[in-house]
Chains A and B, each alone.
Chain A
Amino acid sequence: MRKTLMAAAAVAVLAGAFSAPAAEAKTFRWAFQGDAQSLDPYSLNETFTLGLLGNVYEGLIRRDENLKIEPALAESWEIVEPTRWRFHLRKGVKFQNGNAFNADDVLFSADRVRADGSDLKTRLAGVTEIVKVDDYTVDFVTEAPNPILNAEWATWYIMDKEWSEANGATAPTDVTKGKENYATRNTNGTGPFMVVSRETDVKTVLKPYDGWWDNANKKHNLTEVVFTPIGSDATRVAALLSGEIDMMYPVPVQDMNRLEKDPNTDVLAGPELRTIFLGMDQEYDELLYSNVKGKNPFKDIRVREAFYRAVDVEAIKKKIMRGLSTPSALMISPFLFSRSDEFKRPDYDPEKSKKLLADAGYPNGFEVGMDCPNNRYVNDEKICQAVVAMLAKVGVKVDLLAQPKAQYFAKILRPKRDTSFYLLGWTPGSFDSWNVLYNIIATPADDGRGKFNVGGYSNAKVDELTAKILSETDAKKRDQMIFDAYTQLNDDWGYIPLHQQGLAWGKRSNVSLAQRADNQFMLYYVKVN
């Protein structure tokens, strides 16, 4: 008995030595699969990097929980002439180092975002001149009318001119110059949180900024935020289950069930803005990686329809995405186009597919190579494998090459374009159809149009509509043109849209937060109860 007691005492002592210090009130710990690449807000146009920085920096506008534009550093704006937008800046805003915010900072940020080394130059594409009217009024002059000028400005963050100049950070880091930039590891925004410490890829600690202009309406109750990247899926799930972290994303599809069943954890799932689709090469005269010589079967509309009808998106949703996807008839999220409910996805019909192939002169199908990433989208490789199996049923033999994104994109993107059939995902950064039409549907041209139209789908009518949509300011007319363009694309069977992939965030049950469909996680919605 005495021995047991001693053993128990030893365990208790050991336990005391090993127990973690009591958790601070309202410290919020969260994890993502990677880290922001840099704290410089203009160094990379990527969702996570910009999302994390969106807690520290702010743009002239911001997006609310439902992605509606709302005023941020600009209180209001108006279109004075079709090519001139006037922004009235918010007064009394202070950067986190105490400097005042005014029109000079906006002008400075506009120069910096267009400097060499910036990856966000497109934020001000088409802006020819920026005029300081007074300290709190700035005009943006565009070369052509642009109804969605500020659509992407929620992630064009305004930096402090004085701070950047004092620290030699007036231009974004240019890796080719071989010198680190102060803004890579230091921040000075106007946003609700400030960076306390940061070790790249290890830990970033933030705390609320007491001087935030919108503190009166703040929704969060945090006193400290600790962000840790956790790359391994299994470890990230384990850390949430064990309570070491309060929130993490993405949740691997296969672990959703487990987190839902655990009484201490929840999964927040919703559709993401990204559309996953299959592209077919319609540009080369002879199809690459195929046994069909001297011609390109995809130039035949019947072959494209046959491929479309051979893919069973419902099966992909059920078996591979485990319900976490929304089959799509459009190349844009239904969330981002008001008339999307007027489109219906053509039925899965393998019999008709076989008949179409026979009509096109391929009664026994043909062989084609397929390219697929294996670490870019949710279950990307598995989707491709399923497509291969589905096409085999109608007689098409697909040779799949699934590779990591680094090799994949180098192979399929222009100028190399070494592919005949591929899977890609697209989220329009501006949340608007023009971006989709211009980048992936319009005929590729030297000026950058159709840059990601890898398969080279081309229809003059769509090109014409795309150009008009850019400068049409009447919303109803504009939507009609967008509608016409998508209809034409679908009539041509130009692409095979598969689905909107789902977002899955995991959290402890005592945490409440808002999940935005653009997959940006904003700390000012977080409440720890």
Chain B
Amino acid sequence: MVAFIIRRFIQSLFVMFVVALVSFAMFQFIGDPVNQMVGIETSLAERAALRERLGLNDPIVVQFWHFILNAVSGDFGISYQHKRPVADMLLERLPATLELSAVSALFSLLVGIPMGVYTGLNRDGFLAKIFLTISLIGISLPTFLIGILLIFVFSVTLANAPPISVFGLFAIDPSVLQLPSFGRGTVVEIGGWRTGLLTADGLKALIMPSITLGLFQLTLIMRLVRSEMLEVLRTDYIKFARARGLANRAINFGHALKNTLVPVITITGLQVGSIIAFAIITETVFQWPGMGQMFLQAVQNVDIPIMAAYLMLIAFFFVIINLIVDMLYYVVDPRLRVDTGKAAGHG
């Protein structure tokens, strides 16, 4: 086990090194940072001098070497645009992204699994068909569009809707259900971690972004659970359980669902990395102050220090998550303990 972890760790370092190398090679094609850093009146000589001082005239290998040397000591440099240390900026943005990702992962699990179970048990039910149709939307509509549609309905339409009268008894003003279209709401800082989970408007601000971000995972999990359920329900031990006269509930949840969860856990684990990485789009639509949004702005402004650090961090997340998933396999699947060579192949 220890040897396995050490081996994986060395592989992870190699992966991160490659990510850094590839991203550095790409930075050559995204434009000139100097023109984004100065105003239009700055002279050509000053631009050239700045380029030289930033080391942008050095060969790519030298630039890469400097970056690796600094990164090893935790120094990712100063943002070209914001003139602040990149490590600080990423750490400031990290809580927003992690909270959003965690809530959407939770949302997709808590909604996706019951929907999957239901559609698996009632294959031809009317509601099951509706669920499947909705899931098609979740898979086929682009995230950007889903976000904009939610904003249109829950921020704009509700804000301007007239009060609804309930049986002439009293009126409900729909605007009280209005959700914020941008930002994180009020945040509370606890030990350097800015959380939006402790205030009412912080929670409110989370609703639409996490639905937007989690919808795709929700459909994935729902469909996975559904097909696994259909498969498991056909197996002999379920038939045997029925023959024993066990209650339906005990069979469905105690035996069938339990056995479907192994692949669900694997997929969810792997998807967590994607959620964090693909939060970029959701964060942009909702002006969510996370790392993804900062990365996108950095791309537009050719802010190389931010881009490099962000890509390294995301690579780090993927590597860690994969490592954990691999270790889970190791724990769950007794066969791997004999054939360790196969475990490494899963990465």
| A interface residues (Cβ-Cβ under 8 A, vs B) | 4-5, 8, 11-12, 14-21, 31, 34, 37-38, 40, 43-46, 119-122, 173, 175-176, 178-181, 184-185, 199-203, 228-232, 234-236, 238-239, 241-244, 262, 264, 375, 404-410, 413-415, 426, 429, 439, 448, 451-452
Residue from B42, B79, B173, B293 with most neighbouring chain A CB atoms (10 Å) = B42
Q: Which of chain B's residues has its CB closest to A122's CB?
A: B41
Q: Are B155 and A244 in contact (CB under 8 A)?
A: yes
A8 B44 Cβ-Cβ under 8 A:
no
B27-35, B102-110, B218-226, B230-238 - interface stretch: B27-35
With beta carbons under 8 angstroms apart, the residue of B36, B152, B173, B177 that contacts A238 is B152
What chain B residues lie within 8 Å of A231 (beta carbons)? 284, 287, 293, 296-297
Contact in complex: B181, A407 (CB < 8 Å) = no
Report the Cα distance A235→B151, complex, angstroms: 8
Are A409 and B32 within 8 A (Cβ)? Answer: yes
Q: What is the minimal beta-carbon distance from A423 to any residue of chain B, in angstroms?
A: 15
Please, which residues of chain B bring their CB within 8 A of the CB of A236? 182
Is B53's beta carbon under 8 Å from chain A?
Answer: yes
Q: A-B pairs with the 8 shortest C-beta distances? A: A45-B39, A406-B31, A410-B32, A15-B176, A242-B159, A176-B53, A173-B83, A407-B31
Docked Cα-Cα span, A176 to B134, in Å, equals 52
- Docked pose: A7 CA to B46 CA in angstroms: 68
Q: Can you list 28 residue pairs at the A/B interface with Cβ under 8 Å?
A: A5-B169, A8-B170, A18-B200, A21-B201, A43-B83, A45-B38, A45-B40, A46-B39, A119-B38, A175-B79, A180-B85, A181-B83, A201-B297, A202-B289, A229-B287, A234-B148, A238-B181, A241-B159, A242-B155, A242-B158, A243-B159, A406-B36, A407-B31, A409-B35, A410-B31, A410-B35, A429-B40, A452-B40
Closest Cβ of chain A to B111, distance in Å, is 19
Q: How large is the interface on B (under 10, 10 to 19, 20 to 34, 35 or more residues)?
A: 35 or more
Residues of A within 8 A of B81 (CB): 37
Shortest beta-carbon distance from A119 to chain B in Å? 5
A415 to B44 CA separation, bound complex (whole angstroms): 8
Q: Knowing A15-B176, A199-B92, A234-B148 touch, does A175 contact B39 (C-beta < 8 A)?
A: no
Asked whether A44 lies within 8 Å of B39 as measured between CB atoms, the reply is yes
B152 proximity list for chain A (CB < 8 A): 238
Q: Report whether A451 and B43 are in contact in the complex, using a CB–CB cutoff of 8 Å.
A: yes
Q: Of A176, A404, A406, A409, which is within 8 A of B54 by CB?
A: A176
Q: How far is the CA of A5 from the CA of B42 in the complex (A)?
A: 68
Interface centre among A8, A12, A406, A439 (most CB of B within 10 A): A406
Whether B172 is near chain A, meaning CB under 8 Å from some CB there, is yes
Q: How far is the CB of A198 from chain B (nearest CB, A)?
A: 11
Given contacts A46-B39, A406-B301, A407-B31, contact A185 B77 (CB under 8 A): no
B77 x A178 contact (CB < 8 A): yes
Q: How long is the Cα–Cα vector from A421 to B36 in the complex, in angstroms?
A: 22
Q: A15-B176, A175-B37, A200-B82 are in contact. Are A230 and B32 (CB under 8 A)?
A: no
Answer yes or no: B259 CB below 8 A from chain A CBs.
no
Q: In chain A, what residue has the closest Cβ to B204?
A: A18
In Å, the complex CA distance between A405 and B35 comes to: 9
List, in ascending order, chain A residues with CB within 8 A of B158's CB.
242
Q: What is the bound-complex CA distance between A407 and B172, given in angstroms?
A: 53
In the complex, the answer to whether B155 meets A238 with C-beta atoms within 8 Å is: yes
A95, chain B: closest CB distance, angstroms:
22
Contact B82 A38 (CB under 8 A): yes
Also in contact, A15 and B172, with CB within 8 A (given A199-B92, A231-B297): yes
Q: Are B151 and A234 within 8 A (Cβ)?
A: yes
Cross-chain contact A242 with B160 (CB below 8 angstroms):
yes
A31, chain B: closest CB distance, angstroms: 8
In this complex, what residue of B is CB-closest to A177?
B78
Report how far A297 CA is from B309 CA in the complex, Å: 47
Q: Are A244 and B83 closer than 8 Å at their CB atoms? A: no
Give chain B nearest CB distance to A116 CB in angstroms: 9
Closest residue of chain A to B77 (Cβ to Cβ) is A178
Q: Which residues of B contact A180 (CB under 8 A)?
A: 78, 83-85
Residues on A with beta carbons closer than 8 Å to the beta carbon of B25: none
Cβ-defined contact, A406 with B83, below 8 A: no
- B84 contacts A8, C-beta separation under 8 Å: no
Q: Determine the distance from Cα of A31 to Cα of B183 in the docked complex, in whole angstroms.
A: 12
Q: Which of A31, A37, A448 contacts B82 (CB 8 A)?
A: A37
Contact A184 B41 (CB under 8 A): no
Contact: B181 with A244, CB < 8 Å? yes
| B85-103 with Cβ < 8 A to chain A | 85, 89, 92
Q: Is B126 close to A, CB under 8 A?
A: no
Collect the chain A residues with CB atoms within 8 Å of residue B42's CB.
45, 119, 121-122
A18 and B176 contacting across the interface, CB-CB below 8 Å:
yes
Q: How near does chain B come to A128, taking the closest CB pair, in angstroms?
A: 18
